[in-house]
A and B are shown apart, each in its own frame.
Chain A
Amino acid sequence: MNNQTYYELYRRSSIGTALTDALDDLISEGRIAPQLAMKILSNFDRGITEILAEKVKANLTFKGHLDTYRFCDEVWTFLIKDVTFKFQQGQGQGSSVSADKVKIVSCNSKKPGEQ
Chain B
Amino acid sequence: MLHGMVKVPGYPVAEEEISGTTFEFWSSLAEFLLDPENVAESDIPSLIAAGKKEIMQAIEEFWTKIQIPPHTESLKWTKDLRDGFTSFRKDVADLVEVAYGILGLELFDRLISQVISALANSQAGGAVAWEQIEASLFCLNSLSDCLGDEPEEDESLKVLFRSRLFNILADFGNQIPLRVRQTAVHMIGSYAVFFERWANFLPTVLNFLFVAISTPALARNASKSISSLCSSCRSTLTSELSVFLYQYELFSATPTADDIAKERVLCAISYVIQALPSESQKLDSLGRILGYVDKDAQQFLTILPQHPEAAKELGVSTLQCLVAIGKGLQAPDDIPIILAGEGGGQGPPSFWEQESGLAIQRRILHIIQTLVGSLAEDGEMIDAACAVFRTGFAETAPGPFVFPPRVVTEFLLERANRGVRVETVLSTASTMVSSHSLDGSPDISTEVGFFLELILGLAERLQNPQEDPEMSQGLVEFINRLFSRYITVIVHYQPRERIEMLLWFVMNALQVRETLVKKAACTFWASLVSFAADDRPELQASINSFVHLCGPALAEKLVWGIGGGASRSEVDSLTEPLKKMIARQVKAKTWLSASLSRNGFPSPNLSEKDKTVFLNKIMTLRGKRGTNQIAKEFWLSSRGSDFAC
Contact = CB atoms under 8 A, between A and B. Distances in A.
A59 B94 contact: yes
A27 B186 contact: no
Interface in A15-64: 17-18, 20-21, 23-25, 27-28, 34, 37-38, 41, 57, 59, 61, 63
B224 A21 contact: no
Interface string B480-511: 00000000000000000000000000000000
A106 interface: no
A113 B567 CA distance: 37
B90 A59 contact: yes
A108 interface: no
Interface string A72-115: 00000000000000101011110000000000000000000000
A41 B224 CA distance: 43
Interface of A is mostly: helix
B221 A34 contact: no
Interface stretch (B4-12, B115-123, B637-645): B637-645
B568 A27 contact: no
B568 A93 contact: no
A75 to B, nearest CB: 19
A57 B88 CA distance: 10
Interface string B613-645: 000000000000000000000000001011101
Given A38-B645, A41-B645, A93-B186, A21 B567 contact: yes
Interface in B538-571: 564, 567-569
A92 B220 contact: yes
A57 B87 contact: yes
B182 interface: yes
B43 interface: no
Nearest to B94: A59
B437 interface: no
A95 to B, nearest CB: 10
A17 B224 contact: no
A67 interface: no
B84 to A, nearest CB: 10
Nearest to B566: A21
Contact of A57 (B90, B179, B189, B225): B90
Contact of A90 (B86, B94, B641): B86
Contacts of B145: 61, 63, 86
B90 A28 contact: no
B523 interface: no
Give the secondary structure class of B's interface: helix
Contact of A20 (B90, B221, B228, B569): B569
B90 A24 contact: no
A61 to B, nearest CB: 6
Interface residues of B, number: 25
B466 interface: no
B190 interface: yes
Contact of A27 (B86, B224, B225, B639): B639
B1 to A, nearest CB: 21
A57 B87 CA distance: 7
A24 B567 contact: yes
B613 to A, nearest CB: 23
B186 A34 contact: no
Contacts of B643: 23-24, 27, 34, 37-38
Interface in B564-598: 564, 567-569
Nearest to B190: A93
B301 to A, nearest CB: 33
Nearest to A42: B645
Contacts of B189: 93
Given A20-B568, A27-B639, A59-B94, A92 B645 contact: no
Given A17-B569, A21-B569, A59-B94, A91 B641 contact: no
Nearest to A11: B645
B182 A88 contact: no
Contacts of A91: 86, 179, 182-183, 186, 221
Nearest to A90: B86
Interface in B293-315: none
A37 B644 CA distance: 10
B75 to A, nearest CB: 17
A27 B641 contact: yes
Nearest to A23: B643
B224 A24 contact: no
Contacts of A24: 567-568, 639, 641, 643
A8 B645 CA distance: 9
A41 B643 CA distance: 10
B335 to A, nearest CB: 16
Given A20-B569, A88-B90, A93-B186, 7 more contacts: A21-B568, A27-B643, A38-B645, A91-B86, A91-B179, A92-B182, A92-B220
12 contacts: A20-B645, A21-B569, A23-B643, A24-B643, A28-B564, A28-B641, A57-B90, A59-B90, A86-B145, A92-B224, A93-B186, A93-B189
Name the 8 nearest CB pairs between A and B, nearest first.
A34-B643, A17-B569, A21-B567, A34-B642, A92-B221, A37-B643, A57-B87, A93-B224
